[in-house]
């Protein structure tokens, strides 16, 4: 195996892939039969989850662990790397263990964060197909989402061009009277394309009225699509179809929602997702099973590994490790109060990943930028700066403990970290009642994660008193205020008039008690201002807008200036990715 200190991730993955297990062997070791997997080549498979769950319906559930993190820098904290490392470490301790992680989005892979396959000697493989296209799930979500927009815009054009009689004669359609100023659906693509955040569509060429209905529209990134959220929380194909039919694409002129079922397109959308609903199976560098299903972005989306993947993993493993997007204020809060509510699964502990690098950022060091050299503050010891930054880590420990489950802090070790800096973190966390483990999984794989594995095994002996933060019958505005105060540390919430009007409209829905709260906020701060580091005090959350995902069953308040379409920076990762035209090998992925 190549040395991760001197070799990039793609070379390490290439070396490991030469001796990786056939996917049938990985499946058999997990407890799957040949009939329950659908191989995609030699090293990837999809799982027939409905057959597995039917066979194992009465089987005992394994232990359930969520991996989250502190507020990250733009370089990330290494949650996926820590998840893979933990699985490898637990396996070395003799545990039957699996992971559920999220499929990389093309935006970060081609942008600044990279693939999300893990790193060093704690990766999942095969790296290239996992990072690029994989089994086509994200493409299928893109197609299903955009098909709804095709149906909507075509209907608007035909309703404009024909009177009621001709509309009925041509297609048997009834007039929906869609209000062009209240179209909530847009298009999606899986890249960070800030130029598409606001667009005009349907511009007529040469005076032709058949070029579409001209109106303002927008693109979001695919992983922020409601279709992705639905795939994350659907329990089976029937649930998926019902939820897809409830997606609100617009409102009519009387204010009534127009859904994909109204457009008679939800069935076709489901057809696009027949394969995507099946979780994917790959392996770690050390051969443990990794289920991959749904996508990232816990700041602007649900950002969770799917409920389906977790229901499979928890039945087949003694310990199942799942991953949530970004920090405990975003990904873990949604895991805690949305995913667990819908899955009826109770977590046994949470791992909070932290780095000395990020703690220095919260302690006053300049924010590191991808593609640029690390500022000097990150390259030399500064115990005082680390101690000051621990206020952010302690806040996240408090969030996890409010859920009533044990917290294990994973110090994701880097070469420049000093013994005194690490000891400072350990002392402060243990005072706060959390277990702490230093993990060197990036450099040493499972052998480097044994301290973390032991801390997690110890935490699993502790009794759990899992408690949701709020009742879903609580009015939505009050729920927002509870999250702002109890999770973010805000003094309160300020709502724009637009947000007030929309939230009042959503609150009046007859199904309001079935709708979860999915906050949209920057991932770079506990507040809605990405420049405020540490654990800010004396601030109020600013909610400027809100959307209703009727199919996913989520109300999504939008705080601060966050966008559902991220942007591509000046030094993106795609500049360093290329293909060896002699071998067909992709180089430069990380």
3-state secondary structure labels for all residues of 194-216:
HHHCCEEECCCCCCCHHHCCCEE
Q: Is the Cβ–Cβ distance between 573 and 110 less than 8 Å?
A: yes
Q: How far apart are CA 29 and CA 283, in angstroms?
A: 11
What whole-number distance in Å separates Cα of residue 516 and Cα of residue 338? 6
Alpha carbons 265 and 312: distance in angstroms, whole number: 30
What is the pLDDT at residue 174? 83
Query: What distances in angstroms separate CA 90 from CA 94, 159, 321, 545, one per listed residue?
Result: 7, 60, 10, 43
- Hey, what domains does the chain have and what are their CATH numbers? 9-136+276-459 (3.40.50.300), 137-272 (3.30.1510.10), 476-559 (3.10.410.10)
Residue 372 has pLDDT above 80, yes or no: no
Mean pLDDT, residues 481-495 taken together: 98
What does pTM read for this prediction? 0.95
* Closest by Cα among 451, 463, 455 to 351: 455
Report the alpha-carbon angle 499-505-511, nearest 5. Answer: 125
- pLDDT tens digits for 459-475? 999 999 999 999 999 99
Alpha-carbon torsion 135, 138, 142, 148, what sign?
Answer: positive
Render pLDDT for 414-441 as a digit per residue (tens, 0 to 9).
888 999 999 999 999 999 999 999 999 9
Confidence of residue 261 (pLDDT cuts 50, 70, 90): very high
pLDDT at 207 (0 to 100): 61
pLDDT in tens, 60-94: 999 999 999 999 988 888 899 999 999 999 999 99
Q: Strand, helix or coil at 145? A: helix
Q: Give the mean pLDDT of 485-497.
A: 98
The percentage of the chain sitting over the pLDDT mark of 70, rounded to a whole number, equals 99
Q: DSSP labels for 241-262?
A: HHHHHT-EEEEETTS-EEETTT
pLDDT tens profile 34-70 = 999 999 999 999 999 888 988 998 899 999 999 999 9
What is the H or E stretch that residue 122 is in? strand 122-125
Check whether 173 has a pLDDT greater than 80. Answer: no
What's residue 208's pLDDT? 64
């Amino acid at each position: 195996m190549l040395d991760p200190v001197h070799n990039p991730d793609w070379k390490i993955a290439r070396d490991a892939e030469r001796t990786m297990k056939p996917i049938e062997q990985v499946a058999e070791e997990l407890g799957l039969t040949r009939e329950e997997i659908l191989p995609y080549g030699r090293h990837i498979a999809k799982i027939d989850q409905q057959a597995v769950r039917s066979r194992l319906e009465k089987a005992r559930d394994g232990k359930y662990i969520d991996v989250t993190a502190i507020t990250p820098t733009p370089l990330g904290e290494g949650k996926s790397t820590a998840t893979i490392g933990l699985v490898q470490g637990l396996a070395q301790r003799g545990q039957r263990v699996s992971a559920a992680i999220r499929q990389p989005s093309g935006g970060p892979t081609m942008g600044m964060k990279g693939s999300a396959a893990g790193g060093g000697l704690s990766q999942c493989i095969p790296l290239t197909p996992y990072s690029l296209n994989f089994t086509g799930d994200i493409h299928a979500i893109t197609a299903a989402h955009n098909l709804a927009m095709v149906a909507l815009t075509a209907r608007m054009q035909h309703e404009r061009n024909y009177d009621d009689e001709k509309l009925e004669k041509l297609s048997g359609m009834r007039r929906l009277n869609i209000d062009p100023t209240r179209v909530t659906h847009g298009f999606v693509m899986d890249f960070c394309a800030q130029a598409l955040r606001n667009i005009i569509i349907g511009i007529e060429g040469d005076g032709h009225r058949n070029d579409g209905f001209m109106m303002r529209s927008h693109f979001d990134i695919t992983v922020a699509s409601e279709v992705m959220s639905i795939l994350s929380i659907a329990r089976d194909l029937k649930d998926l179809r019902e939820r897809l039919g409830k997606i609100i694409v617009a409102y009519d002129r009387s204010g009534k929602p127009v859904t994909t079922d109204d457009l008679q397109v939800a069935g076709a959308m489901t057809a696009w997702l027949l394969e995507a609903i099946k979780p994917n199976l790959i392996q770690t560098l050390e051969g443990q099973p990794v289920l991959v299903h749904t996508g990232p972005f816990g700041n602007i989306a649900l950002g969770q590994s799917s409920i389906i993947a977790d229901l499979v993993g928890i039945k087949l493993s003694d310990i199942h490790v799942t991953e949530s997007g970004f920090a405990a204020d975003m990904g873990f809060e949604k895991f805690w109060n949305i995913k667990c509510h819908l899955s009826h699964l109770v977590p046994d502990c949470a791992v909070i990943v932290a780095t000395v690098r990020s703690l220095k950022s919260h302690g006053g060091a300049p924010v590191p930028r991808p593609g640029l050299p690390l500022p000097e503050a990150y390259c030399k010891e500064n115990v005082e700066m680390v101690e000051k930054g621990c206020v952010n880590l302690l806040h996240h420990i408090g969030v996890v403990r409010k859920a009533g489950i044990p917290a294990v802090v994973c110090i994701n070790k880097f070469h420049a970290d000093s013994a005194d800096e690490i000891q400072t973190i350990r002392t402060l966390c243990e005072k706060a009642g959390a277990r702490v483990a230093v993990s060197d999984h990036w450099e040493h794989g499972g052998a480097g994660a044994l301290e973390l594995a032991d801390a997690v095994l110890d935490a699993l002996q502790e009794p759990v008193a899992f408690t949701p933060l709020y009742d879903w019958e609580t009015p939505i505005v009050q729920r927002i205020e509870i999250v702002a105060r109890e999770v973010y540390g805000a003094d309160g919430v300020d709502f724009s008039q637009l947000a007030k009007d929309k939230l009042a409209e959503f609150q009046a829905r007859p199904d309001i008690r079935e709708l979860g709260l999915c906050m949209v906020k920057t991932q770079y701060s506990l507040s809605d201002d990405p420049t405020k580091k540490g654990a800010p005090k004396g601030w109020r959350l600013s909610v400027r807008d809100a959307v209703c995902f009727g199919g996913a069953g989520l109300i999504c308040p939008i705080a601060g200036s966050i966008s559902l379409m991220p942007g591509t920076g000046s030094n993106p990762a795609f500049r360093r990715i290329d293909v060896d035209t002699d071998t067909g090998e992709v180089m430069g992925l990380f």
